[in-house]
A and B are shown apart, each in its own frame.
Chain A
Amino acid sequence: MGRMPSVLPDGEPAPEDGTLPAEALAGAPDRPLGFYAHVPYCATRCGYCDFNTYTAAELRGTSRDDYAATFAEEVRLARKVLGDDPREVETVFFGGGTPTLLPAADLGRMLGAIRSEFGLAADAEVTTEANPESVDPAYLAELREAGFNRISFGMQSAREHVLRVLDRTHTPGRPEACVAEARAAGFEHVNLDLIYGTPGETDDDWRASLAAALGAGPDHVSAYALIVEEGTQLARRIRRGEVPPTDDDEHADRYLIAEEALSAAGMDWYEVSNWAVPGDAARCRHNELYWTGADWWGAGPGAHSHVGGVRWWNVKHPAPYASALAAGRSPAAGREVLTEEDRRVERILLELRLSAGCPVSLLRPAGAEAASRAVGDGLLERGPYEAGRLVLTLRGRLLADAVVRDLVD
């Protein structure tokens, strides 16, 4: 699993030294700061994956062995760019790629760089993604020792035939065992990522996956509809007719099944694709930074960052990424400075996905009319609406993008 899509947006060029406009840093101390650490390596590329990741065969001229050191260079650049920003880091998230393809010690060194340059808050959330086949109890213990306290396993499915279509190499049962091993190693928070709507998956397969995941006792589950991205192996296989295409109606059914199973097991949705046991503790605070307009520095090839209304993204390939840093330059490929209206639109489209919803006050008159219609159509909850917040109903969650299109008017 990963967090960084492979296609970079269009934007303006970013300055070579990575400096930010003064207004981006204004008021920074009042916003939480997070760090995303991208690890662009995988043992093999899965057929559905379009994330910015590279297998050994795809890499030329760079070595995984040097990655932690290169990464630390960017952390030092971040320190320089943010200057005397007094903030400690509240959350760190290692994604990929497969972070756990690196030795635990490397991940520890990368985290160490962040700690030494910025300092970690006492209650900082430090997560890494992990593939079930790439960890064992010793590795997990080492991670815990290095300061990681949350781990997210890419389980995807409990069915072998589904894992096969997804090119996942672990065996059914292994992710559940991982949860137990992580607990034993002292991880307080454990997430399982699931994918539904894979060609060939039935409703019952999906129910079985949910049951298996819940049986392992994670405090957090992410469930994603399979997106067939252009340019992936899976897209080609579907085009050639080797596997059936995904179906939106089927996805809707699976989502409802997920909501039913997860809430029956005592979990609450707090974002369209994320469920956690009640209380704030189990939620992924790092992801919440993304959704609430906080600041984060994304380090690593292709990683995206956001500070005070400026979004930027690094060059994708590890080789130019490394050489930029080696030459003392920012690895940023481009950036965009958001307008007030951009920020308003982003707030609506991000916050509406949350169970906390977004305030009605963000809307202009046309959007407010649309909101009132959406309440009438059963897409927004009436109670919160009357209290000034827009919160999606279950049906509204499935149509969130359509609702947003009307609300931003």
Chain B
Amino acid sequence: MPATETTVPQPSRTEPALIRNFCIIAHIDHGKSTLADRMLQITGVVDTRQMREQYLDRMDIERERGITIKSQAVRMPWSPTDGGSSGGAHILNMIDTPGHVDFTYEVSRSLAACEGCVLLVDAAQGIEAQTLANLYLAMENDLTIIPVLNKIDLPAAQPEKFAAELAGLIGCDPADVLRVSAKTGEGVEQLLDEVVRQVPAPVGVKDAPARAMIFDSVYDSYRGVVTYVKVVDGTLGRRERIKMMSTGAQHELLEIGTNSPEMTPADGLSVGEVGYLITGVKDVRQSKVGDTVTRLSKGATEPLGGYKDPKPMVFSGLYPVDGSDYPELRDALDKLQLNDAALVYEPETSAALGFGFRVGFLGLLHLEVIRERLEREFNLDLIATAPNVIYRVVLEDRTEHVVTNPSEFPVGKIEEVYEPVVRATVLTPSEYIGAVMELCQNRRGTLLGMDYLSEERVEIRYTLPLAEVVFDFFDQLKSKTRGYASLDYEPTGEQSSQLVKVDILLHGDKVDAFSAITHKDKAYAYGVRLVAKLKELIPRQAFEVPVQAAIGSRVIARETIRAIRKDVLAKCYGGDISRKRKLLEKQKEGKKRMKMVGSVEVPQDAFIAVLSSDDGDSKAKK
């Protein structure tokens, strides 16, 4: 039942034994936001009059003063209805987790702030690969898992079947799987009770020097960076001076507090509590996820474990279609970086595409999100080169080169090339096992193992080169399984491979934007495909244009764009003159949309067509 106001423990004065920190792991559309809504309502944090759908998700749009903070952790009081040993007002901190594979590290930090998690699965669909990946991550973090089937009110719900599946996965009794309808609220009170009963209280040392782990940090244009922390040891109080342990940066705590769900300032945060800090910094890179916050004076000497710098895995060149938009693109990236510590970029010049940036991303979704935001929020038209991974090239003279742009692949004598690999997990209906395995084999995969989740569903694990995953893999997987398979992957290191750079030459001039690094067995197919495509996309010119694919100086594929022989209107009499002049003006406009590659005019659209069909990223959402 909702805790009455007088009995609710206040921030900085809450016994750890009364705190429950938990998150909800769910696939998109499985009802996480709706469940959060019900919890806010049932715990009385948001009253029915204020309630609106997807309350937490929509705060950004609806809040006054333009504050765009999405609540990353909500403090909810709750007194369990079953009484007994766990009776009395407790504090439930519901911590949000990013939902996607690209943000595995961020997910792991959010999970590290929790002692338990609600595994929420659609009773009509069963678990998906990404949910499974996050579940494994939660299990690795020793979180208590509360399995829950949602949408039990749906006619298509199969609670028996999926309860068995979940029980098999986490090793519990199918009878222990809770059944709720976030939509109607059915079972949500019992779920809150179970959170209090099952999730362990946080354990920390109250008298130790303060140590708080940053699990999220968000830029807000009014308040600067809002940093979300879980206090592991000691306490942090307002107006205290603090230190970020990874960088040594010092700040004053201008504000400290909790969200219920609005930001509510407090005197401080004590051991086991979750809340936010505001220091006035303007850039999320000064408040890094995973870092440890301590007091400046008598601070801790050992940071909490687990901090990592975000490392970009996938690179793509971003170029404005209209070269004069370059400064706007730079400003837009600068702005996005304020809120995205994982976004890295540096200026790059392409002979074919002009001035742009080589941008590093955590993965394909991250790439797509950034590209969409640049186009939508900043109104930029962009050409993105095909995404590529980082290669480590060791030359025969033992010098080492890190290649983030295929056109920079060294030309010297190469001893070895290393490429990143991932552990990919595919969940698929069992009838598609053959198709999935064939796809993975074609993509140079190594089978790690296979497990039946149920009679109809299989988990298949492969080691795959990341470059192969980045290249169209998700689309292929979806099409070969009629959309039923789901995919997750995590980086696991690198491997030495037989890789070569394929260059594309137009009329003898290398087109840097089309250079690609591929396995040597696939170079020929890549070359033939690209050369054929360019032949189709590039209009005939006044001269014959050979289109070649080459490895070094060895040409592996060639097509010829025949010279145009006729480009003249037959008639030009009195009535044709205005029409012809206007046609000429239109053609001149069209010519402006051409990029000159050496002496060859290449339509902008050809770049977009060639590059976009290769990346397959636009659909690589979950």
- Which residue on A lies nearest to B541, using beta carbons? A402
Which of B133-141, B386-394, B442-450, B569-577 faces chain A?
B569-577
Which A9-28 residues have C-beta < 8 A from chain B?
Answer: 9-11
Interchain Cβ contacts under 8 Å between A and B, 26 examples: A3-B573, A3-B575, A4-B575, A9-B579, A11-B578, A224-B570, A249-B566, A252-B566, A290-B574, A291-B572, A305-B574, A311-B577, A313-B578, A342-B581, A349-B572, A349-B580, A349-B581, A349-B584, A377-B543, A398-B567, A399-B567, A400-B567, A402-B542, A405-B587, A408-B584, A408-B588
Q: Which applies to chain A's interface (DSSP): helix, strand, loop or mixed?
A: mixed
A5-B579, A252-B566, A273-B570 known; 13 new pairs, CB 8 Å cut-off, are: A3-B575, A36-B574, A225-B566, A227-B569, A248-B564, A272-B568, A303-B575, A304-B577, A349-B572, A401-B587, A402-B542, A404-B584, A408-B588
- Given the interface pairs A249-B565, A272-B568, A400-B568, the reply to whether A304 lies near B575 with Cβ below 8 Å is yes
What string of 1s and 0s marks CB contacts (under 8 Å) between B537-578 and chain A? Answer: 000001100000000000000000010111111111111111
A345 at the B interface (CB under 8 A)? yes
B52 at the A interface (CB under 8 A)? no
B591 at the A interface (CB under 8 A)? yes
Does B568 contact A397, Cβ atoms closer than 8 Å?
yes
Q: Which residues of B contact A224 (CB under 8 A)?
A: 570-571
A189 at the B interface (CB under 8 A)? no
A273 and B569 alpha carbons, distance in the complex (Å): 9
B interface size (C-beta, 8 A)? 26
B65 at the A interface (CB under 8 A)? no
Does A290 contact B566, Cβ atoms closer than 8 Å?
no
Q: Which residues of A contact B579 (CB under 8 A)?
A: 5, 7, 9
- Which residue on A lies nearest to B590, using beta carbons? A405
- Given the interface pairs A249-B565, A349-B584, the reply to whether A9 lies near B578 with Cβ below 8 Å is yes
- Which residue on A lies nearest to B573, using beta carbons? A3
Q: From residue A307, how far is it (CB to closest CB) to chain B in Å? A: 12
A336 at the B interface (CB under 8 A)? yes
B49 at the A interface (CB under 8 A)? no
- Given the interface pairs A405-B584, A405-B587, A408-B588, the reply to whether A336 lies near B569 with Cβ below 8 Å is no
Q: From residue A175, how far is it (CB to closest CB) to chain B in Å? A: 19
A308 at the B interface (CB under 8 A)? no
- A residues lining the B interface (CB < 8 Å): 3-5, 7, 9-11, 36, 224-227, 248-249, 251-252, 255, 272-273, 287, 290-291, 296, 298, 302-306, 311, 313, 336, 342, 345-346, 349-350, 353, 377, 379, 397-402, 404-405, 408
Does A402 contact B574, Cβ atoms closer than 8 Å?
no
Q: From residue A364, how far is it (CB to closest CB) to chain B in Å? A: 14
B298 at the A interface (CB under 8 A)? no
Q: From residue B70, how far is it (CB to closest CB) to chain A in Å? A: 51
Q: Which residues of A contact B376 (CB under 8 A)?
A: none
Q: Which residues of A contact B580 (CB under 8 A)?
A: 349
Q: From residue A6, how far is it (CB to closest CB) to chain B in Å? A: 9
Does B577 contact A346, Cβ atoms closer than 8 Å?
yes
Does A313 contact B568, Cβ atoms closer than 8 Å?
no
What string of 1s and 0s marks CB contacts (under 8 Å) between B121-140 and chain A? Answer: 00000000000000000000
Q: Which residues of A contact B543 (CB under 8 A)?
A: 377
Total CB contacts across the A-B interface at under 8 A: 107
Q: Which residues of A contact B564 (CB under 8 A)?
A: 248, 399, 402
Q: Which residues of A contact B573 (CB under 8 A)?
A: 3-4, 287, 290
Does A248 contact B565, Cβ atoms closer than 8 Å?
yes
B582 at the A interface (CB under 8 A)? yes
Q: What 7 A-B pairs are tightest by C-beta distance, nearest first?
A: A252-B565, A304-B575, A224-B570, A9-B578, A400-B568, A4-B575, A252-B566
Q: Which residues of B contact A342 (CB under 8 A)?
A: 581
Q: Which residues of A contact B591 (CB under 8 A)?
A: 405
A5 and B578 alpha carbons, distance in the complex (Å): 11
- Which residue on A lies nearest to B599, using beta carbons? A373
Does A350 contact B566, Cβ atoms closer than 8 Å?
no
Partner of B566, one of A305, A349, A399: A399
A4 and B572 alpha carbons, distance in the complex (Å): 10
Which B159-173 residues have C-beta < 8 A from chain A?
Answer: none
Which B297-334 residues have C-beta < 8 A from chain A?
Answer: none
Q: Which residues of A contact B582 (CB under 8 A)?
A: 9-10
Does B567 contact A298, Cβ atoms closer than 8 Å?
no
Does B574 contact A4, Cβ atoms closer than 8 Å?
yes
Q: Which residues of A contact B570 (CB under 8 A)?
A: 224-227, 272-273
Q: From residue B391, how far is it (CB to closest CB) to chain A in Å? A: 40
Q: From residue B51, how far is it (CB to closest CB) to chain A in Å? A: 57
Does B577 contact A350, Cβ atoms closer than 8 Å?
yes
